[in-house]
Each structure stands twice: as C-alpha cells, then as structure tokens.
C-alpha cells in the first residue's frame, strides 16, 4: 500500500524494541544517572575533556536528547539527528555539515533510524517513509495494509533503486523483509521468516553487504514468547528477488540468543548477541560461525552493531566494558572497564567514541581512556555519527561537530 504525499506534518514512528529491552534500558539509564552523581570517578580517571577542536555548535539546548535510537546519520551535506524536548515533542532535524545551520525539521512520534541514500532520507515506522533530503518533504510512504505492523529497520540500494525494510507483526509475531521501489514506494518482493519450533520472530537488521551481492537479515526466533528461549539467525537473501540463499542459526530451544544490527569485515558478518553476551562472527564462505568474543557477563546491548576499523572489531556493553579484538580471529587485543555503561560506539580518526552519560573517548590502538567528550555533566549525549574525520553529536546542550584527533 503506497500513497504519495505533498504535505505531511507528522511522521508517526513505532518503537523498535520489545518491552523487556525498554525496561532494561530504563534501569540502565537510572544507573548511569546515579553513576554521574556518585564518586565512581576515582583519582586515576582523567577529569578533563581531551582537546578536540570544536568545529561548530548549533541548535538550542533541550530538556531531553535521549532516544532509544542512538545512531545518527550523515550524507554528503547533512547530519541527521532526533531532537526532543519534554512537552515539545520529537523531531527529525537535518543540519548543514559545514556550519550546523538547520536545513529542515520533520515532526516524528517515536524513534526513527535514519538512512540517507542520495537525495532521499528513509525513516521506518508505522510506514516506511521517503523524505526529500534537501527539504524534509515526504515523497511517499509504504505500508503493509495491516495496522498492527511496524517497520523497524531499513537499508537502501541507490544503484538498484530498491529500499529494504524489516517488518514486525505485533499481532502474530511474524517477521519479514520487504523490498520496495525507491522511486514509487511500490512493493517489489516480500520474504517471511520461519523456523522449526519458533513461535515468533524479532527482527534486528536488514543490511546490504558492502559488495551488494547479498542482503543480510539478522533476527531472533522465539521458542516460548515472550522471549524465554530464542535462537539468533543470520540469513543471506538475493537482493533482487528476496530468495533466501542460506541461513546460520545459533542456539536452540534451551538458549537465549539475540540478533542485532550488523557490521562487516571482509568475509565476516558481525553482530552482538546480548543473550549469549558475546560478539559473533559468521563466515560468508563457510556459512558458519567463525569466532565468538565475550563481553561483560550480565550486560546487554541495544541492537548496536560492533565497529570495524583498522583490522579490529570494537564493541562496548552496558556494564562499562570496552573491547577490541582481532577482526580475523576474534582474539582480544585489549579490554578496559569504566564506571556506568555504554549504548553504542563508533570510530572517528584514531578514536573510539562510546555513548554513555557524557560520551567517552578511547585510543583505538591501546584502549587508553582519553576522558569525556562533554565536560558538562548536564550535557547528555544523544545520536552520534562520524564522517571524514569529524564526529557529529546531538546532545541536550545542542548539536556539535568535533575534529577527531588521536
């Protein structure tokens, strides 16, 4: 079901995480707030922010910059972030990368994982929305025809003019992926996922491989909802037809395994498994798990993909663990532990940015903690993205661009 819209005031977006994750997230946020007010910062921890050149600061301070969507996005010209304020709603805002000038804003209800592709920005929610990247105008929206469905993730192939969206059926627990025409929003194909003994599906990612040959889908198959036991799965689809080429399932009826957003390193497809408390690497050639790398027992992740940079894989967890492992083997290069916990991570220059109460910076090579990015305890970080040696950050204090050094 597709409709072309000339003027839309609101883009309604559904929350992409199950209730148990929202509860855990709320508890973790409370812990982070307490950590920020406690004496957990001991004498061996640098209290001074590292010297990162501030390129610009824009936007007005807001009461809340937090969203369950912690990943911002950039294209050649703009940085996209969710800005929100108590009593004032939530908006997707596009900022000029050169000076932080606001290009446009579109009111949204709920989180929105932004995916820019050329002159279009895609935003999944109750519909899959396509917005003009220059103006924010809604070009089209694609729906499934079922009110209980929601789009939770999206990727786009500009060359093939296709957009891929992961759909969760709230009523029946089904999980599926659709491909729609990038020009019109019309359905091209649809693929539904099932497994032996599975009673429901939780979608985590639908991401094109860097070479464009496969569309990888990450999801969890539930054996006894709500999420008592589950297996994590990575499936490779033909991007043109949706035909499933192969699938790797990790876990079974007596395990707790979770899929997540995906990252790639050569032959490997990587995801964080919060149930198994490890990063998992799947080999495309072998069609099997290549290695596993553990993180702090008892922690979880918010659908965050690990980061690949310089032949290593970097990941963090919600109990303050920060890890680097060899991308080929999974062998640990270094690990550090910090007070509080982290939600996402990204690399910029020689730095690893980890999203906590103030935004922590680490040296990629050694793991040395360089200090908080935000010196003000009240400046809570929100969405972040990096490109061309610049770190873009939306925080409660405003929107910032920093030149990465390290």
With left for phi above 0 and alpha for psi between -120 and 50, is residue 320 left, alpha or beta? left
* CB neighbour class for 47 (10 Å; exposed up to 12, middle 13-18, buried from 19): exposed
Q: Are 314 and 360 in contact (CB under 8 A)?
A: no
Sign of CA dihedral 171, 177, 182, 187: negative
Residue 270 contacts by C-beta under 8 Å, 6 or more apart in sequence?
262, 263, 264, 279, 280, 281, 282, 305, 306, 308, 313
pLDDT of residue 171: 54
Six-digit token string for 161: 């003019």
Residues 6 or more apart whose CB falls under 8 angstroms from that of 392 comprise 72, 74, 79, 81, 95, 97, 384, 385, 386, 399, 400, 401
DSSP class of 358: S
- Residues forming beta bridges with residue 121, ordered by sequence position: 116, 131
Distance CA 155, CA 217 (A): 11
> Do 100 and 92 touch, CB atoms closer than 8 A?
no
Sign for the CA dihedral angle at 364, 370, 375, 380 comes to positive
* Cis status of the peptide bond prior to 42, with omega within 30 of 0: no
The pLDDT, as a whole number, for residue 372 is 87
Query: What's the pLDDT at 88?
Result: 65
- pLDDT, tens digit only, all 406 positions of the chain: 544 333 333 343 333 344 344 434 444 444 444 333 332 322 233 333 455 889 999 877 665 444 445 678 999 999 998 887 666 677 889 999 999 999 999 887 656 788 999 899 998 877 888 999 999 999 999 988 877 777 877 899 878 899 998 887 655 677 889 999 999 999 999 999 988 889 888 888 899 999 999 999 999 998 876 657 899 999 999 999 999 999 999 999 989 898 999 999 999 999 999 888 899 999 999 999 999 999 888 776 667 899 999 999 999 998 899 999 999 999 999 999 998 888 889 999 999 999 887 889 999 999 999 988 887 665 777 789 999 999 999 887 888 999 997 5
Within 10 angstroms of residue 114's Cβ, the number of other Cβ atoms is 27
Q: What is the pLDDT of residue 14?
A: 34
Q: Check residue 170 and give its pLDDT.
A: 54
pLDDT number for residue 40:
30
Tokens of 302: 């918010």
């Amino acid at each position: 079901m597709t409709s072309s819209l000339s003027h839309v005031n609101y883009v309604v977006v559904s929350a992409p995480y199950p209730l148990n994750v929202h509860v855990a997230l709320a508890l973790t946020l409370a812990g982070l707030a307490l950590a920020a007010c406690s004496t957990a910062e001991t004498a061996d921890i640098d209290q001074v922010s590292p010297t990162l050149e501030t390129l610009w600061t824009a936007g007005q301070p807001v009461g809340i910059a937090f969203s369950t969507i912690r990943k911002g996005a950039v294209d050649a010209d703009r940085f996209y972030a969710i800005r929100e304020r108590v009593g004032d709603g939530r908006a997707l805002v596009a900022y000029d990368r050169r000076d932080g000038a606001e290009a446009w804003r579109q009111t949204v209800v709920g989180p929105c994982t932004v995916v820019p592709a050329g002159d279009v920005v895609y935003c999944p929610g109750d519909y899959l929305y396509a917005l003009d990247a220059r103006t924010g105008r809604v070009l089209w929206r694609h729906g499934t025809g079922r009110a209980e469905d929601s789009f939770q993730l999206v990727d786009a192939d500009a060359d093939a003019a296709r957009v891929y969206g992961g759909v969760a059926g709230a009523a029946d627990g089904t999980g599926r992926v659709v491909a729609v025409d990038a020009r019109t929003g019309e359905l091209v194909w649809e693929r539904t996922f099932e497994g032996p003994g599975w009673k429901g599906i939780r979608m985590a990612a639908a991401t094109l491989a860097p070479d464009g040959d496969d569309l990888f889908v990450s999801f969890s198959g539930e054996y006894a909802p709500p999420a008592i036991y589950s297996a994590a799965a990575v499936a490779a689809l033909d991007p043109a037809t949706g035909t499933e080429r192969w699938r790797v399932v990790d876990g079974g009826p007596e395990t707790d395994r979770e899929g997540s957003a995906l990252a790639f390193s050569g032959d490997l497809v990587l995801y964080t498994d919060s149930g198994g408390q490890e990063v998992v690497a799947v080999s495309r050639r072998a069609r099997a798990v290549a290695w596993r790398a553990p993180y702090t027992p008892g922690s979880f992740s918010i659908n965050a993909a690990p980061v690949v940079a310089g032949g290593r894989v970097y990941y963090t967890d919600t109990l303050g663990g920060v890890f680097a492992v060899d991308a080929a083997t999974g062998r640990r290069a270094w690990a550090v532990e910090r007070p509080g916990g982290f939600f996402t991570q990204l690399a910029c220059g020689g730095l690893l940015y980890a999203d906590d109460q103030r935004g922590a910076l680490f040296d990629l090579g050694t793991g040395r903690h360089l200090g908080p990015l935000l010196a003000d305890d009240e400046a809570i970080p929100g969405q972040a993205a990096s490109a061309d040696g610049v770190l873009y950050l939306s925080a409660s204090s405003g929107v910032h661009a920093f030149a990465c050094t390290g």
